[in-house]
Amino acid sequence: MITPELELKTCFVLDDRGRIVSTREPHATHGPRFTIIRSATESAWAVHQDVPKELSEQIAVLARREPPAGDLRAAPVYAAEYLSLTGGRPGFAGPAFTFPETLAPATGVVLVDDERLLLRNFRGWQPGEISEGRAPVWAVIEDGFPVSICFCARRSDAAAAAGLETAEVYRGRGFGPRVTAAWAMAVRAIGSVPLYSAAWSNEPSLAVARKLGLTAHAAFWSVSE
């Protein structure tokens, strides 16, 4: 069963106290000051290890009181308090999706295992990144180079969260759903759980979720630096 706790532990490295150390990915980043993931029945949350202990304890009291999400689009009840206590600003917010049991086989997609092929149309890829945790990387190829890719943005031993990118001039051609479906099936084939999330403001990513028949089961809400 996919739970907010699984989403949390897939996206972030947590210390022994359950506090955020970093994002869970190659070349990890700092991560949010606070994040909470709420479903209709439960929630999971964590405060960054850099937040002072006294403030962290105050946040914990509020987070334990936070009711489940009746409306996934609604901000947490104590959103203003989380922002005030952490001294941060609103960060990532959006739905977390589950994939249907069956997906139509993807066509016209290939596996990519060399970051150099990605540099033509995508930024930020570094040598070794695929083998260090981004694999599998599925792509649509045009003129010999990937133009739409889906890869492991974050991953744990139990699950992987999708990262989806399509080069701007190739958007709107249905490539995103194809590479995402191929990625999800490949993740399942290795015994892991595929996860997908998108910001509420990211209409193209939300459209991919609709086209694939994904189901929103929870919502992220975070405080960034």
pLDDT in tens, 202-214: 999 999 999 999 9
Dist. CA 180–CA 209, nearest whole Å? 9
C-beta separation of 179 from 164 below 8 A = yes
* Phi-psi label, residue 213: left if phi above 0, alpha if psi -120 to 50, beta otherwise: left
Full-model pTM: 0.95
pLDDT in tens, 63-110: 999 999 999 999 999 999 999 999 999 999 999 999 999 998 889 999
C-beta separation of 195 from 151 below 8 A = no
Main-chain phi, psi angles of 95, to 5 degrees? -75, 150
Dist. CA 35–CA 222, nearest whole Å? 4
Nearest C-alpha neighbor of 155 from the set 132, 133, 183: 133
Q: Which residue has the higher pLDDT, 7 or 225?
A: 7
Evaluate if residue 1 carries a pLDDT over 90: no
Q: pLDDT at position 138, please?
A: 98
Across residues 126-148, what is the average pLDDT? 96
pLDDT in tens, 145-197: 999 999 999 999 999 999 999 999 999 999 999 999 999 999 999 999 999 99
pLDDT in tens, 41-63: 999 999 999 999 999 999 999 99
Distances in whole angstroms, Cα of residue 221 to Cα of each of 6, 103, 136, 150, 164: 15, 28, 27, 23, 20
Domains of the chain listed by start with CATH number = 4-95 (no CATH), 110-218 (3.40.630.30)
Q: DSSP state, 59? A: H
C-beta separation of 84 from 206 below 8 A = no
Dist. CA 209–CA 95, nearest whole Å? 10
Dist. CA 24–CA 30, nearest whole Å? 10
In terms of C-beta density within 10 A (0-12 exposed, 13-18 middle, 19 or more buried), how is residue 205 classed? buried
Dist. CA 12–CA 182, nearest whole Å? 24
Mean pLDDT of the chain: 97
For 161-189, b/e burial (b = at least 16 CB within 10 A) is bbbbbbbeeeeeeebbbbbbbbbbbbbee
Evaluate if residue 28 carries a pLDDT over 90: yes
Q: pLDDT at position 225, please?
A: 87
